[in-house]
Amino acid sequence: MARLILDTGVLIGAVRRRIDLASLIAHDDIVLPTVVLTEYLVGVEADPVEARRFAQRAFLDAVLTATPLEDYTTRVVPHHVDLLRHTRRTGRPRGSIDLIIAATARATDRTLLTTDARAGFDDLPGVGARVLPG
């Protein structure tokens, strides 16, 4: 059983039926960072079609009944600081949300499950990442 943390792209891939999230949840220990919840809902609220917004919220509600949330806590902060310093030192910046997700994965000793191969999560020290087609 793998210990995984989800990136927003995995939720998007699942709601579009490109990723079998139910199978992952059934076989692995999965958590959802609260910042991913925020990022996903921003996209949902931007959808101009009410029926799609409703369906995406219903999907998210179902995910949240089976997947615990992982908060950004003082346990995550030193990992976030270290990753920020690393990206500045290497001259390879990342998005703020991506770094929070990566720091949460590192702090909780989880592999980050993503659909974004270009994010470079696996180049961050102490962060393991697995890329899914999404």
Residue 92 confidence (pLDDT)? 93
Residue 1 confidence (pLDDT)? 86
pLDDT (average), residues 3-16: 96
Question: Long-range contacts: 49-56, Cβ < 8 Å, 24+?
Answer: 55/15, 56/15
Tell me the pLDDT tens digit for each residue of 35-80: 999 999 999 999 999 999 999 999 999 999 999 999 999 999 999 9
Residue 106 to residue 125: CA distance in whole angstroms: 9
Identify the domain containing residue 104 by its residue range.
3-131
Q: Tell me whether strands 128-131 and 3-6 are parallel, antiparallel or unpaired.
A: unpaired
Question: How many structural domains does the chain have?
Answer: 1
Residue 86 confidence (pLDDT)? 97
pLDDT (average), residues 3-27: 94
The whole-model pTM stands at 0.93
Q: Is 91 left (phi over 0), alpha (psi -120 to 50) or beta?
A: left
Residue 120 confidence (pLDDT)? 87
Tell me the pLDDT tens digit for each residue of 96-115: 999 999 999 999 999 999 99
CATH number at residue 104: 3.40.50.1010
Confidence check: pLDDT of 134 > 80: no
Q: Name 5's bridge partners.
A: 31, 112
